[in-house]
C-alpha cells in the first residue's frame, strides 16, 4: 500500500500541510517535526521520486563524494542512494575522498567535467568551497560555511548528549571518550559528549583519535593504557570502537557505546549502546532534495536535521 501525506498526517496527528513542510525541509515546530518523522518511520514511508522525474533526458548521472567508504554509515548511505537512483533511471558515480581535501577537490572537478546533473557531498572540511557553478548539490553529514546548498544532517550534539544519559542509567560513572581529531560531525559529537557528561555528573576523559589507520590504532591503545580506571568507553564511530575492542580482547569488563550500528557489535560479550542514525531516511531525503533542484525548482536552501535513536545493536 502506498503511504501518502494524508496517512502520515493522520498517524502524526498534524495537518497534511505540516507534513508537506517537513518533507520540503521548511520551518516547522520541533515537536511537530519529531511527530511527523516518527510517523514516517512507523509507516515505512519512502519519497515518491517517480513523481519528480527529471525533464532533461541528458541528466542521467549524479555524483556522490564520501570521506570514507569503509565507514559503515557511509557504505549504507551510498548503497541506499545508488539503489534508489537506479530505480529512477539515474546512475551514480561514487568517489571516496579518504578525508583528503586535495582528493575531494580533484573529484569535484572531475564530476563537474563529467557534467553530472547533481552532487551529494559529505565534505572533509567546513571550509570547503564547492565551485560547482550551476550544478545543484546537497550536503550531508557535515555542514560547510555559508554555502547556499540544501543539507541533510544528524543532530550529532543531541545524540551524543542522549548517549551519556543512557550510560548514566546503565550505571556508568567514569567514561573515556574516543573522538576524531577534526570534522564538523566529530566536533559536534565531542561537544555533546562533554555537555551531556557534565549534565549527568559523569567523570570523563577525552582522547583525540586521528583518521589514519596506524596512527588511530596507536592513539586508541595509548588512551586505553592511560585510562584503565574507566568503566565505560564511548567512540565517535564503530571503526574506533572496533580498535578498542580488539585491544581489550578478553578483558573488556566495561560498558561500550558508539555512533553507528554494525553487525559485528553483536559478537561482543558486553552490553553495547549504539547511536543508530536513520541512514535510509537520510539517503532518501538527500536524493529527493537533489532531484528537486535538478528539475530547476527554485527556493531558499533547506536544512533537514534528523534525530538518532539510542539502542542495542540490531
Q: Tens digits of per-residue pLDDT, 237-255?
A: 988 998 998 888 877 678 8
Please tell me the predicted confidence (pLDDT) of residue 60: 80
Q: Please, which residues have CB within 8 angstroms of residue 134's CB and are 6 or more apart in sequence?
A: none
Assigned C-alpha cell, 113 = 567535467
Asked if residue 55 has pLDDT above 60, the reply is no
Contact assessment for residue 155 and residue 124, using Cβ atoms and an 8 Å cutoff:
no
Please tell me the predicted confidence (pLDDT) of residue 147: 65
Q: Is 253 exposed, middle or buried (0-12, 13-18, 19+ CB in 10 A)?
A: exposed
Q: Tens digits of per-residue pLDDT, 181-205?
A: 767 788 899 999 999 999 999 999 9
Cα(77)–Cα(73) distance, integer angstroms: 6
Contact assessment for residue 237 and residue 260, using Cβ atoms and an 8 Å cutoff:
yes
Cα(69)–Cα(235) distance, integer angstroms: 18
Please tell me the predicted confidence (pLDDT) of residue 53: 44
Q: Is 101 exposed, middle or buried (0-12, 13-18, 19+ CB in 10 A)?
A: middle
Q: Is 147 exposed, middle or buried (0-12, 13-18, 19+ CB in 10 A)?
A: middle
Each domain of the chain, given as residue ranges in start order, spans: 5-42, 58-153+278-306, 156-276
If one compares 187 and 148, the residue with the highest pLDDT of the two is 187
Fold adopted by 58-153+278-306? Rossmann fold (3.40.50)
- Distance between start and end Cα atoms, the chain: 26
Q: Tens digits of per-residue pLDDT, 212-241?
A: 888 999 999 999 999 989 999 999 998 899
Nearest Cα to 159, choosing from 22, 278, 280? 278
Please tell me the predicted confidence (pLDDT) of residue 183: 73
Asked if residue 122 has pLDDT above 70, the reply is yes
CATH C-level class of 156-276: alpha beta
Please tell me the predicted confidence (pLDDT) of residue 143: 81
Nearest Cα to 219, choosing from 206, 202, 231, 232? 206
Per-chain mean pLDDT for the chain: 86
Asked if residue 156 has pLDDT above 80, the reply is yes
Assigned C-alpha cell, 126 = 567546513
Please tell me the predicted confidence (pLDDT) of residue 41: 83
What average pLDDT score do residues 110-117 get?
89
Asked if residue 3 has pLDDT above 80, the reply is no
The residue with cell 590504532 is 217
Q: Tens digits of per-residue pLDDT, 273-296?
A: 999 999 999 999 999 999 888 886
The residue with cell 581535501 is 101
Q: How far is CA 259 from CA 67, 96, 146, 292, in A?
A: 16, 20, 27, 30
Assigned C-alpha cell, 192 = 555533546
Please tell me the predicted confidence (pLDDT) of residue 1: 52
Assigned C-alpha cell, 99 = 578525508
Judge if 58-153+278-306 and 156-276 fold alike in CATH terms: yes
Please tell me the predicted confidence (pLDDT) of residue 163: 95
Assigned C-alpha cell, 210 = 586521528
What average pLDDT score do residues 109-135 get?
86
Cα(88)–Cα(253) distance, integer angstroms: 49
Amino acid at each position: 500500500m502506498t503511504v501518502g501525506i494524508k496517512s502520515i498526517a493522520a498517524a502524526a496527528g498534524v495537518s497534511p500541510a505540516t507534513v508537506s513542510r517537513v518533507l520540503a525541509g521548511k520551518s516547522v515546530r520541533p515537536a511537530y517535526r519529531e511527530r511527523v518523522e516518527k510517523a514516517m518511520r512507523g509507516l515505512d514511508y519512502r519519497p515518491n521520486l517517480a513523481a519528480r522525474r527529471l525533464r532533461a533526458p541528458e541528466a542521467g548521472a549524479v555524483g556522490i563524494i564520501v570521506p570514507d567508504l569503509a565507514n559503515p554509515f557511509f557504505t549504507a548511505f551510498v548503497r541506499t542512494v545508488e539503489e534508489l537512483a537506479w530505480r529512477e533511471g539515474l546512475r551514480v558515480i561514487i568517489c571516496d575522498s579518504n578525508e583528503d581535501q586535495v582528493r575531494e577537490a580533484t573529484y569535484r572537478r572531475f564530476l563537474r567535467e563529467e557534467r553530472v546533473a547533481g552532487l551529494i557531498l559529505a565534505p572533509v572540511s567546513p571550509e570547503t568551497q564547492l565551485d560547482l557553478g550551476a550544478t545543484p548539490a546537497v550536503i550531508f553529514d557535515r555542514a560547510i560555511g555559508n554555502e547556499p546548498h540544501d543539507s541533510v544532517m544528524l543532530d550529532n550534539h543531541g545524540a551524543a548528549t542522549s548517549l551519556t544519559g543512557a550510560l548514566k542509567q546503565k550505571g556508568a560513572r567514569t567514561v573515556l571518550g574516543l573522538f576524531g581529531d577534526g570534522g564538523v560531525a566529530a566536533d559536534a559529537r565531542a561537544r555533546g559528549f562533554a555537555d551531556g557528561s557534565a549534565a549527568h555528573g559523569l567523570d570523563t576523559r577525552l582522547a583525540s583519535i586521528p583518521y589514519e589507520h596506524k596512527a588511530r590504532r596507536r592513539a586508541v591503545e595509548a588512551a586505553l593504557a592511560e585510562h584503565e580506571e574507566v568503566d565505560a568507553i564511548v567512540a565517535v564511530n564503530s571503526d574506533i570502537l572496533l580498535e578498542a575492542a580488539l585491544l581489550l580482547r578478553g578483558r573488556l569488563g566495561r560498558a561500550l557505546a558508539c555512533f553507528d550500528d554494525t553487525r559485528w557489535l553483536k559478537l561482543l560479550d558486553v552490553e553495547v549502546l549504539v547511536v543508530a542514525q536513520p541512514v535510509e531516511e537520510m539517503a532518501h531525503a538527500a536524493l529527493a532534495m537533489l532531484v528537486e533542484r535538478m528539475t530547476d525548482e527554485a527556493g531558499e536552501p533547506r536544512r533537514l536535521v534528523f534525530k538518532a535513536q539510542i539502542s542495542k545493536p540490531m
